[in-house]
Amino acid sequence: MICPFCSFDQSKVLETRDSQELVITRRRRECLECSKRYTTYERIETEPLIVKKKDGRREQFDRNKVRAGVVKASERTKVPHDKIDEIINKVEQHLRNEDAVEIESGEIGNLIADQLKEIDKVAYIRFASVFKRFVEVEEFQKELKKIL
At residue 7, does pLDDT exceed 90? yes
Is a pLDDT exceeding 90 seen at residue 32?
yes
Is the pLDDT reported for residue 21 higher than 70?
A: no
pLDDT in the model for residue 43: 81
Q: What's the whole-model pTM score?
A: 0.64
Mean pLDDT of 72-94: 91
**What amino acid occupies position 109?**
G
pLDDT at 29 over 70: yes
Mean pLDDT of 83-112: 90
Q: Of 20 and 61, which is predicted with more confidence?
A: 61
| pLDDT above 70: percentage of residues in the chain | 92
Would you state the pLDDT for residue 135? 63
3-state secondary structure the chain: CCCCCCCCCCEEEEEEEECCCCCEEEEEEEECCCCCEEEEEEECCCCCCEEECCCCCEEECCHHHHHHHHHHHHCCCCCCHHHHHHHHHHHHHHHHHCCCCEEEHHHHHHHHHHHHHHHCHHHHHHHHHHHCCCCCHHHHHHHHHHHC
pLDDT one-digit tens code per residue, 103-143: 999 899 999 999 998 999 899 888 888 877 766 667 767 77
Q: Which residue has the higher pLDDT, 22 or 117?
A: 117
The per-residue b/e assignment along 9-18, b for 16 or more CB within 10 angstroms, e otherwise, is eebeeeeeee
